[in-house]
Amino acid sequence: MSEWKARRFWTQAEVAAVEGGYEVRLDGRPVRTPGKLPLVMPTLALAQAVAAEWDAQADAIDPGAMPLTRAANSAIERVAPQFDAVADMLAEYGGTDLLCYRAEHPVELVVRQAEGWNPWLDWARHDLGAALRVTQGVIPVTQEQAALDRLRARLGGLTPWQLTALHDLVTLSGSLVLGLAVLEGRLDAEAAHRLSRIDEEHQAEIWGRDEEADLAAGDRLQALCNAARLLALLAPADAGSESAAEPDA
């Protein structure tokens, strides 16, 4: 027996301004979260993008093709009610940040990690006030509590919507620093993905590529791009756009 799938039941998706933001309406009926909460979004741009996802659905609804809708549901139902717990969880990545754990050999990988990661640790120290220590091998390094506290404080100043996007940026890259760099507009999602995969790419160059691993990496890249797009859609309509740039050395 084939699995039952929800079918498209509407003709048109449109956006309407409501108290607290904007909602998507399907033939005049407001979309709600799976938990039946109002799906009210903070910016017109985000609501329009979510409406476009609904309009793009064919006969059978494919939730996998609606990343912004799923992110909006998560922001409202999961992140907002437990903001501090989510922020605490992401802040813990600062204590084990990918950028702080370096290979001991070979020289080529050591150099590649240093060239790719050192500038972003410098950025974290200068711009975020968080000086993170680096170690080689698998021996854990204890970070200064003051640095971790500054990172946690930065997360506390975000909105639930920003924290929702940051969740994927951090958990998929393994780096709070890279996630915050994308959040701050200093790094784009593709570059963050590339930096997070220095070790894997080095291994692929030595042993050859693995199709399954490459497919998984492609899925992570797409998820990172979706999170970065969510951040862009959350920006005020009159905000100036700045292209991502490398940090000052």
Dump pLDDT digits (tens) for 111-158: 999 999 999 999 999 999 999 999 998 889 999 999 999 999 999 999
pLDDT of residue 236: 83
202 in a domain, yes or no?
A: yes
pLDDT at 219 over 70: yes
Higher pLDDT, 210 or 185: 185
68 occurs within a structural domain: no
| Residues 226 and 147 reside in one and the same domain | yes
Work out how many domains the chain is built from and give that number.
2
Asked, for residue 67, whether it belongs to a domain, the answer is: no
Q: Looking at the structure, do residues 45 and 99 belong to the same domain, yes or no? A: no
* pLDDT band at residue 242 using 50, 70 and 90 as cut-offs: very low
135 shares a domain with 202: yes
pLDDT at residue number 6: 80
Q: What percent of the chain is modeled with pLDDT above 70?
A: 93
Same domain, 31 and 94: no
- The enclosing domain of 116 has a CATH number of 1.10.3580.10
Are residues 44 and 126 both part of a single domain? no
Domain encompassing residue 23: 1-62
Residues 6+ apart with CB under 8 A from 23: 15, 16, 30, 31, 38, 39, 40, 41, 47
Q: Does pLDDT of 100 surpass 90?
A: yes
Regarding whether 96 and 52 lie in a shared domain, the answer is no
Q: How far apart are CA 113 and CA 103, in angstroms?
A: 8
Q: Which of 140, 192, 202 is nearest to 166 (CA)?
A: 192
Whether residue 185 lies inside any domain: the answer is: yes
Question: What does the pLDDT read at residue 173?
Answer: 98
Predicted TM-score of the model (pTM): 0.91
